[in-house]
Amino acid sequence: MGSSVKLERHDTTMIVALNRPAVLNAIDVELRETLITLLTELNKDDGVRAVVLTGAGDRAFCSGQDLDELSRYTANDIDSWLTRQHAMYAAVRDLDKPCIVAFNGVAAGAGFQIALCADLRIGYAE
């Protein structure tokens, strides 16, 4: 698993933190693919009864797609990008256990879409 996602286990609950606080946890290829793989694995783990998604740092849950990365894409990249974005949303939506998004700041674009795919959304301040 890459460093773009941090895990913390609390009994049967897994806290999954998007971990790119310097860019407000913007989604790049590494974060997206790690999230897809990780959520798929957590879904199969009978010891995990709930998943909480949050953002690292104190400014954002997720500011959306990493626009610096996206600016390098060409028209030929869009189809595969959309397919992988859909897979990320599906990984959240298709969890067989409760999924809670804990907003700790901004949720924009793809970050807000992730939250909409979860079962419950809450806001909090540290």
CA distance 10 to 75: 43
CA distance 12 to 1: 20
Alpha helix stretches (DSSP H) within the chain: 29-44, 67-70, 78-93, 110-117
Beta pairing class for 5-10 and 13-18: antiparallel
Please pick, among 8, 30, 41, 126, the residue that the annotation labels catalytic.
126
Residue 104 has pLDDT above 60, yes or no: yes
Q: Which of the four pLDDT bands, split at 50, 70 and 90, describes residue 1? A: low
- The single residue listed with the structure tokens 């793989």 is 37
Instruction: Go through the chain and tell me how many residues it has.
Output: 126
CA 68, 32, 120, 112: dihedral to nearest 10 degrees? 20
Helix (H, G, I), strand (E, B) or coil at 97: coil
Helix (H, G, I), strand (E, B) or coil at 53: strand
pLDDT digits (tens, 9 = 90+) for 17-43: 999 999 999 999 999 999 999 999 999
- Per-residue DSSP letter, 27: B
Is 41 among the catalytic positions?
no
pLDDT digits (tens, 9 = 90+) for 10-22: 999 999 999 999 9
Residue 124 has pLDDT above 80, yes or no: no
